[in-house]
Amino acid sequence: MSVGPLAGLLIQTIAAKYLRMSATLGDPNLEMPETRPQPKLPLHRYAKTQYAAELLVAEALEEHPPKPNLSMRSNTVRLLASMWYVHGSMAFPRGWVSPAMQAFIDRGIDCPNARCWRSYRSDVKDNPGQFLTTPGVPVDLIRQMELDLLADDSASN
Tens digits of per-residue pLDDT, 37-72? 777 777 667 778 889 999 999 999 999 999 999 999
Q: Give burial (CB, 10 Å; 0-12/13-18/19+) of 124.
A: buried
Whole-model pTM over 0.85: no
DSSP 131: G
Residue 29 CB coordination number (10 Å): 5
Q: What is the pLDDT of residue 24?
A: 47
Residue type, 133: T
Q: Give dist(CA 50, CA 30) in Å, integer.
A: 43
Distance of CA 113 to the CA centre of its chain: 7
Q: What is the pLDDT of residue 152?
A: 73
Across the chain, which has 157 residues, the per-10-residue mean pLDDT values are 60 62 51 66 76 95 95 96 95 94 94 95 95 95 91 68
Q: Give how far Cα 138 sits from Cα of 28, 86, 133, Å.
A: 36, 13, 10
Q: Give dist(CA 39, CA 67) in Å, integer.
A: 19
